[in-house]
């Protein structure tokens, strides 16, 4: 059977994939977006969307969306109370702003301002909103399509269990670990991610990070009486969020009053590696290109920005302005300029927080000096073009 043909196939419809597909479709390309899951769905994530990407998010979502996507835009524009669709668990909440981070380590707390404030947007809402925005932009967007492999010949052939599609270019946005994104993990620490939402009365409007040896747990409001608890922990140390809560006394005490909103979701193993922008002729964007330590709260922003950059680079190739190889180089140069410092600084900060206690005790007092915290937070942010 002849493969259905497109100019661009985007593999995976997280924030990076939808951003890429929307950008390419708005540039006039015939785009296919393939996603293995069905939306809406929960996803392991602290759901902290940094200020730097809120404007881009709003532009990607556009203005004439159908529910539930249109619930996001008013929240970003006015921060007034909005009516959520019945599918979400927070019927009348606005998406909360987060203007400060409280870091709890070795029994002491450091508070850093997040200025301008970030926003909590549940992935349950965000991912489907972006997927619908892609459809609205003219993308042929299909759910329940698990890509088995991609072959490169004269065209790219993308094979799912039931169909094969062809395209002149493919962008891999299937996340940090998938059938298309795999790498050598020999000797690397293996981490897991866990997330659930809990009821908590009047949660603090801050991002609270509880560090302990071998991991951390972030606690952030996602509604007027709900919080997101999301942990990254070495896989040999914990199997459940309850295991995680026991690892830090303040977190343990706080979590005693929580009532779960839905069962904990977990994620495939997390590994860190140097970012790459191309593999097997495909551009890589979002986590498929590089996974920034999640405590930085910049993964969604990097995904939106790198997906947009990749879509724009492929549009140049399809419009005949440059070859595919030149588009790859263009994307690589843009990626390094915008995102490399954020990766570097997040890794440094993470190493400092995981350093032996005597070293932390020597360095952490510096983080209390006014202005230093805000500077550190900013250093982990992508440079918006
Ligand atoms: C514990 C933890 C906490 C985090 N907290 C935050 C936070 O607070 N703020 C923040 O900004 N970032 C956070 N992140 C990071 C953030 O979740 C990611 O950076 C972001 O989801 C990356 O988006 P993406 O589109 O690249 O990948 P993903 O969101 O992973 O999307 C990839 C998509 O591809 C699909 N897919 C995979 N394989 C296939 C296949 N074979 N065929 C078709 N589709 C496929 C998947 O189903 C998925 O929908 C956190 C991550 C972890 C692990």
Could you report the per-residue pLDDT of 262-314, keeping only the tens digit for each? 999 999 788 888 999 999 999 999 999 999 988 888 999 999 999 999 999 99
Q: What pLDDT was estimated at residue 3?
A: 61
Split at pLDDT 50, 70, 90, the class of 170 is very high
Q: Whose Cα sits closest to atom 17 in ligand 1?
A: 45
Q: Whose Cα sits closest to atom 1 in ligand 1?
A: 193
Residue 214: C-alpha distances to residues 242, 243, 342 (Å) = 15, 12, 22
Taking the mean position of all CA atoms in its chain, how far away is CA 83? 25
* Ligand 1 center–CA 14 separation, angstroms: 6
Q: Is 300 in the pocket of ligand 1 (CB under 6 A)?
A: yes
Residue 318 CA to residue 332 CA, distance in Å, equals 17
For the segment 219-265, what is each residue's pLDDT rounded down to a tens digit?
A: 999 888 999 999 999 999 999 999 999 999 999 999 999 999 999 99
Which of 121, 123, 130 has its CA nearest to residue 13? 130
* Ligand 1 center–CA 287 separation, angstroms: 6
Residues in the chain: 385
**Beta strand spans in the chain (E):** 4-11, 31-34, 48-49, 97-105, 108-120, 140-142, 147-152, 156-160, 164-172, 191-199, 206-212, 215-223, 226-234, 259-260, 265-270, 278-279, 282-284
* Ligand 1 center–CA 267 separation, angstroms: 9
- Backbone dihedral region of 185: left (phi > 0), alpha (psi from -120 to 50 degrees) or beta? alpha
Q: Is 232 in the pocket of ligand 1 (CB under 6 A)?
A: yes
For the segment 310-358, what is each residue's pLDDT rounded down to a tens digit?
A: 999 999 999 999 999 999 999 999 999 999 999 988 888 877 777 777 7
% residues pLDDT > 90 (the chain): 61
For the segment 81-129, what is each residue's pLDDT rounded down to a tens digit?
A: 333 333 333 333 467 888 888 988 887 888 888 888 888 889 998 999 9
Ligand 1 pocket mutation pick from 11, 13, 14 by most atoms within 8 angstroms of CB = 14
Indicate which atom in ligand 1 lies nearest the CA of residue 230: 1
* Ligand 1 center–CA 34 separation, angstroms: 15
Indicate which atom in ligand 1 lies nearest the CA of residue 180: 41
Beta bridge partners of 234: 191
Q: Output the pTM of the full model.
A: 0.91
Which residues, 6+ apart, have CB-to-CB distance to 44 below 8 Å?
193, 194, 195, 230, 265, 266, 267
* Ligand 1 center–CA 371 separation, angstroms: 31
Taking the mean position of all CA atoms in its chain, how far away is CA 372? 26
Domains of the chain by range and CATH? 4-93+121-185+272-379 (3.50.50.60), 191-270 (3.30.9.100)
Taking the mean position of all CA atoms in its chain, how far away is CA 39? 16
Output phi, psi for 66, to 5 deg: -95, 155
Residue 290 CA to residue 280 CA, distance in Å, equals 16
Higher-pLDDT residue of 385 and 35 is 35
Q: Whose Cα sits closest to atom 16 in ligand 1?
A: 299
Ligand 1 pocket mutation pick from 181, 209, 299, 382 by most atoms within 8 angstroms of CB = 299
Q: What pLDDT was estimated at residue 318?
A: 98
């Amino acid at each position: 059977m002849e493969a259905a043909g497109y100019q661009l196939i985007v593999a995976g419809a997280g924030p990076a994939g939808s951003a890429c597909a929307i950008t390419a479709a708005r540039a006039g390309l015939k785009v296919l977006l393939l996603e293995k899951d069905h939306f809406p769905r929960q996803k392991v994530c602290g759901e902290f969307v940094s200020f730097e990407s809120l404007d881009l998010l709003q532009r990607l979502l556009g203005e004439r969306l159908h529910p539930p996507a249109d619930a996001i835009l008013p929240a970003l524009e006015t921060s007034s109370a909005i009516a959520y669709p019945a599918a979400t668990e927070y019927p009348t909440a606005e998406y909360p702003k987060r203007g400060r981070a409280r870091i709890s380590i070795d029994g002491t707390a450091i508070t850093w301002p997040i200025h301008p404030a970030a926003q909590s947007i549940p992935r349950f809402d965000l991912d489907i909103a972006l997927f619908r925005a892609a459809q609205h932009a003219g993308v042929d967007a299909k759910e329940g399509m698990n890509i088995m492999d991609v072959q490169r010949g004269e065209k790219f052939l993308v094979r799912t269990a039931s169909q094969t599609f062809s395209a002149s270019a493919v962008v891999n946005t299937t996340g940090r670990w998938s059938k298309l994104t795999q790498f050598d993990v020999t000797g690397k620490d293996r981490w897991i991610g866990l997330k659930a939402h809990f009821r908590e009365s009047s949660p603090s409007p801050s991002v609270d990070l509880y560090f302990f040896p071998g991991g951390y747990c972030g606690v952030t409001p996602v509604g007027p009486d709900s919080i997101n608890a999301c942990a990254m922990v070495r896989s040999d140390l914990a199997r459940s969020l309850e295991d995680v809560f026991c690892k830090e006394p303040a977190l343990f005490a706080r979590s005693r009053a929580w009532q779960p909103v839905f069962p904990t979701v977990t994620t495939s193993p997390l590994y860190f590696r140097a970012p790459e922008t191309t593999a097997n002729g495909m551009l890589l964007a979002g986590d498929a290109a590089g996974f920034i330590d999640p405590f930085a709260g910049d993964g969604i922003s990097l995904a939106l920005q790198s997906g947009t950059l990749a879509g724009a680079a492929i549009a140049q190739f399809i419009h005949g302005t440059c070859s595919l190889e030149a588009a790859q180089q263009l994307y690589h140069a843009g990626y390094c300029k915008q995102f490399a410092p954020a990766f570097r600084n997040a890794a440094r900060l993470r190493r400092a927080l995981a350093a032996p206690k005597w070293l932390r005790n020597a360095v952490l007092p510096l983080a209390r000096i006014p202005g230093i915290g805000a500077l550190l937070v900013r250093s982990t942010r992508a440079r918006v073009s």
